[in-house]
Amino acid sequence: MEAVLAVTIGILFAAAIYMLLRRSIVKLVIGLILLSNAANLLIFVTAGLERGAPPLVPRGMAAPAWAVADPLPQALVLTAIVISFGVLSFAVVLVRRAWELVRTDDLDHLQDTDR
């Protein structure tokens, strides 16, 4: 299954890069979303997959009695998901603001600082 997900993540990255290379600023934002999701999955999958063994400690025990999924990458990815949402919301509002000011969606038109 890891191999299948590796291919899927490759597709996600390819889609993200393609969108980041567009001139339209809205497509750039979509590329950003794709990129952060792909990166999160990459970390999650590379750490190894476990089925049906969430990192939980049963009541009354000091530690899980059986092998559980590694909690550390999960914690890191959780942080990353939230942070990427922060970045995304900021970027979206920024794009909207830029649109209101310069009325263009084309990154090439944003090069002149004088406008």
Partner 1 sequence: MQLAVLAGFVVAGLTPWLHRVAGARTPLLLALLPAAIVGWLLQHWSLLAGGGALMLEQAWVPALDITLTFRLDGLAWLFACLIAAIGVLVLVYTGGYLRGHPDLPRFLAVLMAFMMSMLGLVLADNLVALFVFWELTSLTSYLLIGFRHTDPLARQAALQGLLVTAGGGLALLVGFVLLAEAGGSWSLAELASRGEAIRGHVLYLPLLVAILIGAFTKSAQFPFHFWLPNAMVAPTPVSAYLHSATMVKAGIYLLARLHPALSGTSAWTLGLALIGGVTLLLGAVMALRQTNLKLMLAYSTVMALGTMTLLLGIGTRAALAACLVFLLAHAFYKGALFLVAGILDVMTGTLDVTAMGGLRRLLPWTALTAAVAALSLAGLPPMLGFVAKEALFGALLEAGGTGWVAVVAVTLAAGLTLSVAAIVAIRPFLGPLRDPPRRPRGTPPALLVGPALLAALSLLTGVAPGLFDELVTVTLAGLGASGEALHLVPWHGVGGPLALSLAGLVLGVAVFLRWESVRARLVDVLAPLVARGPEVWHSTLGWRTLQLAHWQTRILQNGHLRTYLVTILMAWLGLVGHALLVRHGSLSWPGSAWQAHELVVAALMAAGALTACMVRSRLAAVAALGSMGFSIALTFVLFSAPDLAITQLLVETLTVVLLALVLFRLPHFTVLSTPLQRWRDLGVAALVGALITTLMLAVLGGERLPSVSHYMVANGQPLGHGHNLVNVILVDFRALDTLGEVFVLALAAVGVYAMLCFRAEEAGHG
Residue 114 engages partner 1 in binding (rule: CB under 8 A): no
Residue 90 engages partner 1 in binding (rule: CB under 8 A): yes
Strand partners, 106: 24
- Least distance (Å) between residue 83 CB and partner 1: 6
Residue 102 engages partner 1 in binding (rule: CB under 8 A): no
Structure-block tokens of residue 107: 């990154």
Residues 14-73 that bind partner 1 (CB under 8 A): 14-24, 26-30, 33-34, 37-38, 40-42, 44-59, 61-64, 68-72
- Least distance (Å) between residue 110 CB and partner 1: 9
- Least distance (Å) between residue 114 CB and partner 1: 13
- Least distance (Å) between residue 28 CB and partner 1: 8
Q: How far is residue 104's CA from residue 98's CA, in Å, rounded to a whole number?
A: 8
Q: How far is residue 53's CA from residue 4's CA, in Å, rounded to a whole number?
A: 20
- Nearest Cα neighbor of 80 from 113, 47, 114 is 47
Which position has the token pair 């909690």? 71
Residue type, 45: V
